Amino acid sequence: SSTKLLIKGGIVVNAHEMEAADVYVEGGIIVSVRPNIKVGDDATVLDATGKFVMPGGIDPHTHLGMEFMGTETIDDFFSGQAAALAGGTTMHIDFVLPVNGSLLSGLEAYEKKSRESCMDYGFHMAITKWDEHTSKEMEIMVKKKGINSFKFFMAYKGSFMVNDELLLEGFKKCKSLGALAMVHAENGDAVCEGQRRMIELGITGPEGHALSRPPVLEGEATARAIRLAGFVNTPLYVVHVMSIDAMEEISKARKSGQKVIGETVLSGLVLNDSWLWDPDFITAAKYVMSPPIRVVGHDKALQAALSMGVLQLVGTDHCTFNSTQKALGIDDFRKIPNGVNGIEERMHLVWNTMVESGQISVTDYVRLTSTECARLFNIYPRKGAIRAGSDADIIILNPNSSFEINAKSHHSRTDTNVYEGWKGKGKVEVTISGGRVVWENDELKVVPSSGKYIEMPPFGYLFNGIDKADAKYLSSMKAPVKRSRATV
Ligand code: URP
Ligand code: ZN
Ligand code: ZN
Ligand code: ZN
């Protein structure tokens, strides 16, 4: 688009600095950032006086249009992205699932699902089995398809779960391709044992979900994945860190110098498990996700870890099912489709919980919601920055106006909201996607098929120095001990 936009009088915030400046946008790209920009009257002017002008949010973890647990998420790419834009998120990275074991078929399916996208998006890929073919397809994904991260599920026994052997093969392959290995860290065998215990006790309701997979199972899997990634010497990204147990393993590894990244999830960061005990089935079931939302205390500890840099970014794991779908598990919590909403709420709730509360600065906010994700997946500074040459994905946030969350007014297709009734200060008043104003005056003006697929190149910054570490490891090995046959 050749739309010309001038954002006047705001405070421009990047991950490391903020300054009073105007932002001029043309053809979907930021052209200049400096005070007192003058333009012709063919440009649309947005007044940002008293407000923050920031890079649009990047959600590193979503599931739109995903077939899962016998059903399909109620938000497809278009509805999920529209919701995202209404909440100030302008890019997301979704997880492609293989189809009949083929990564390429999986990607084709997701290319179809995402065709009508109204904002930019990228893909991670899940690896659920292992053979020569998978290995070759991973190579194609990285070298030709713009995917630089692969997720391994250590849970969901019987469908996605991988064993340690596959984890090691996968980690080795990721390393050789410069791709980031990601894990869903829960011990899937132990989860099955936990579920058996619950059913034996007659606990079939949603609370059984949380009780069957306690933090220790997340801590164990996190520790195991970290140690195996360390053994292979490849960077590791732990998705949806929900517990102190997992967080402490990440903290320990990072202190020792290992390249481990921890992603918090909005739900785990700001909620606790109390609703799971609600006598109304749907009220409880809407909170069911994996790993489960934990008992109060884990939320506060995860916030502290995020503010101190022990954990590095916030995803949503947006994976919505409506009440009818959640009711598939009315007699058995094991059949409740796992997943909660969040793509529309993340920017508001991170502001409210972390900045308003004084735990992080405004520049930290930009880093945690946008810049860090762009850097990790190797698309910075095209994304994650307000500077000349970057994509014009921009939000205007008013720290003095208020937002309110409820299922009646949200833009997701789901009929419930796990953040129902949450009110707070710090509202995203304007969202600009690819240089277009798509959210203003509480109105969405999204354009189908305006979103671009963002290719993410391999060998991001986490791979710096990996070769040196390998060389050091090899040189520390002694030569084989020479033994004469006679001594046998
Ligand atoms: O409950 C969840 N998290 N559903 C989405 C799939 C996953 O494990 O990320
Ligand atoms: Zn997961
Ligand atoms: Zn997920
Ligand atoms: Zn609306």
* Complex prediction ipTM: 0.92
Residue 407 above 80 pLDDT? Answer: yes
Which listed ligand is nearest to 94 at the C-alpha?
A: 3
Give the per-residue pLDDT at 405.
98
Give the per-residue pLDDT at 111.
98
Whether 186 is in the pocket of ligand 1, judged by its Cβ within 6 Å, is no
Which residue lies with its CA nearest to atom 7 of ligand 1?
Answer: 290
Model confidence at 486, pLDDT cuts 50, 70, 90, reads confident
Extended strands (E) in 266-373 = 313-315
Which listed ligand is nearest to 444 at the C-alpha?
A: 4
Which listed ligand is nearest to 338 at the C-alpha?
A: 1
What residue type is assigned to position 149 of the chain?
S
Distance, in Å, from the CA atom of 114 to the CA atom of 62, rounded to the nearest integer, reads: 13
**What tens digit of pLDDT does each residue of 316-328 get?**
999 999 999 999 9
Whether 339 is in the pocket of ligand 1, judged by its Cβ within 6 Å, is yes
Cβ-based neighbour number of residue 412 at 10 Å: 25
Query: Which pair of structure tokens corresponds to residue 152?
Result: 């391994």
Ligand 2 centroid to Cα of residue 431, in Å, is 29
Residue of 209, 267, 317, 343 best suited for mutating to test ligand 1, as the one with most atoms within 8 Å of CB: 317
Residue 258 above 60 pLDDT? Answer: yes
Whether 338 is in the pocket of ligand 1, judged by its Cβ within 6 Å, is yes
**What tens digit of pLDDT does each residue of 156-204 get?**
999 999 999 999 999 999 999 999 999 999 999 999 999 999 999 999 9
**What tens digit of pLDDT does each residue of 75-108 get?**
999 999 999 999 999 999 999 999 999 999 999 9
Whether 319 is in the pocket of ligand 1, judged by its Cβ within 6 Å, is yes
The answer to whether 262 touches 185, Cβ cutoff 8 Å, is no
Give the per-residue pLDDT at 305.
98
Model confidence at 413, pLDDT cuts 50, 70, 90, reads very high
Ligand 2 centroid to Cα of residue 290, in Å, is 6
Ligand 2 centroid to Cα of residue 184, in Å, is 5
Whether 62 is in the pocket of ligand 1, judged by its Cβ within 6 Å, is no
Distance, in Å, from the CA atom of 401 to the CA atom of 426, rounded to the nearest integer, reads: 6
Give the per-residue pLDDT at 291.
98
Across residues 386-415, what is the average pLDDT?
A: 98
Q: Which residues are near ligand 2, the ion (C-beta closer than 5 Å)?
A: 184
Query: What 3-state DSSP class applies to 30?
Result: strand
Distance, in Å, from the CA atom of 394 to the CA atom of 29, rounded to the nearest integer, reads: 10
Across residues 283-306, what is the average pLDDT?
A: 98
Distance, in Å, from the CA atom of 261 to the CA atom of 314, rounded to the nearest integer, reads: 11
Q: Which of 174, 93, 183 is nearest to 141 (CA)?
A: 174
Residue of 187, 290, 414 best suited for mutating to test ligand 1, as the one with most atoms within 8 Å of CB: 290
Across residues 370-382, what is the average pLDDT?
A: 98
Query: Which pair of structure tokens corresponds to residue 4?
Result: 């010309």
Cβ-based neighbour number of residue 221 at 10 Å: 25
Which residue lies with its CA nearest to atom 1 of ligand 1?
Answer: 289
- 477: which strand partners? none
Does the N-terminal peptide bond of residue 381 adopt cis geometry, omega within 30 degrees of 0? yes
Give the per-residue pLDDT at 90.
99
Model confidence at 487, pLDDT cuts 50, 70, 90, reads low
Across residues 28-32, what is the average pLDDT?
A: 98
Which residue lies with its CA nearest to atom 9 of ligand 1?
Answer: 317
- Please state the atom number of ligand 1 nearest to the C-alpha of residue 265: 3
Give the per-residue pLDDT at 478.
82
Model confidence at 389, pLDDT cuts 50, 70, 90, reads very high
Q: Which of 127, 63, 39 is nearest to 320 (CA)?
A: 63
Q: Which of 350, 338, 218 is nearest to 287 (CA)?
A: 338
Whether 151 is in the pocket of ligand 1, judged by its Cβ within 6 Å, is no
HSE-up of residue 67 (Cα within 13 Å, Cβ side): 10
What residue type is assigned to position 188 of the chain?
G
Which residue lies with its CA nearest to atom 8 of ligand 1?
Answer: 290
Give the per-residue pLDDT at 479.
85
Distance, in Å, from the CA atom of 290 to the CA atom of 209, rounded to the nearest integer, reads: 9
Across residues 416-432, what is the average pLDDT?
A: 98
Q: At what angle do helices 132-144 and 103-113 cross, to 10 degrees?
A: 40
Residue 1 above 70 pLDDT? Answer: no
Cβ-based neighbour number of residue 3 at 10 Å: 17
Ligand 3 centroid to Cα of residue 4, in Å, is 37
- 92: which strand partners? 59, 121
Ligand 3 centroid to Cα of residue 62, in Å, is 6
Whether 393 is in the pocket of ligand 1, judged by its Cβ within 6 Å, is no
Which residue lies with its CA nearest to atom 3 of ligand 1?
Answer: 290
pTM of the full predicted structure?
A: 0.98
Whether 289 is in the pocket of ligand 1, judged by its Cβ within 6 Å, is yes
Across residues 3-9, what is the average pLDDT?
A: 97
Ligand 3 centroid to Cα of residue 27, in Å, is 34
Whether 340 is in the pocket of ligand 1, judged by its Cβ within 6 Å, is no
Give the per-residue pLDDT at 374.
98
Across residues 421-427, what is the average pLDDT?
A: 97
Mean of the per-residue pLDDT values of the chain: 97
Distance, in Å, from the CA atom of 482 to the CA atom of 381, rounded to the nearest integer, reads: 54
Across residues 334-344, what is the average pLDDT?
A: 98
Which residue lies with its CA nearest to atom 5 of ligand 1?
Answer: 339
Ligand 3 centroid to Cα of residue 282, in Å, is 21
Lowest mean pLDDT among 170-184, 246-260, 465-479: 465-479
Residue 65 above 90 pLDDT? Answer: yes
Distance, in Å, from the CA atom of 218 to the CA atom of 223, rounded to the nearest integer, reads: 9
Measured in residues, the chain has a length of: 488
Per cent of the chain over pLDDT 70 is: 99
Whether 342 is in the pocket of ligand 1, judged by its Cβ within 6 Å, is no
Distance, in Å, from the CA atom of 315 to the CA atom of 346, rounded to the nearest integer, reads: 8
Q: Which of 178, 338, 164 is nearest to 242 (CA)?
A: 338
Model confidence at 218, pLDDT cuts 50, 70, 90, reads very high
- What is the Cα gyration radius of the chain? 23
Across residues 423-429, what is the average pLDDT?
A: 97
- 67: which strand partners? 72
Q: What is the DSSP letter of 160?
A: T
Distance between first and last Cα of the chain: 78
Whether 410 is in the pocket of ligand 1, judged by its Cβ within 6 Å, is no
**What tens digit of pLDDT does each residue of 31-54 get?**
999 999 999 999 999 999 999 999
Q: What is the DSSP letter of 174?
A: H
Ligand 2 centroid to Cα of residue 89, in Å, is 21
Residue of 152, 240, 287, 336 best suited for mutating to test ligand 1, as the one with most atoms within 8 Å of CB: 240
Give the per-residue pLDDT at 424.
97
Which listed ligand is nearest to 59 at the C-alpha?
A: 3
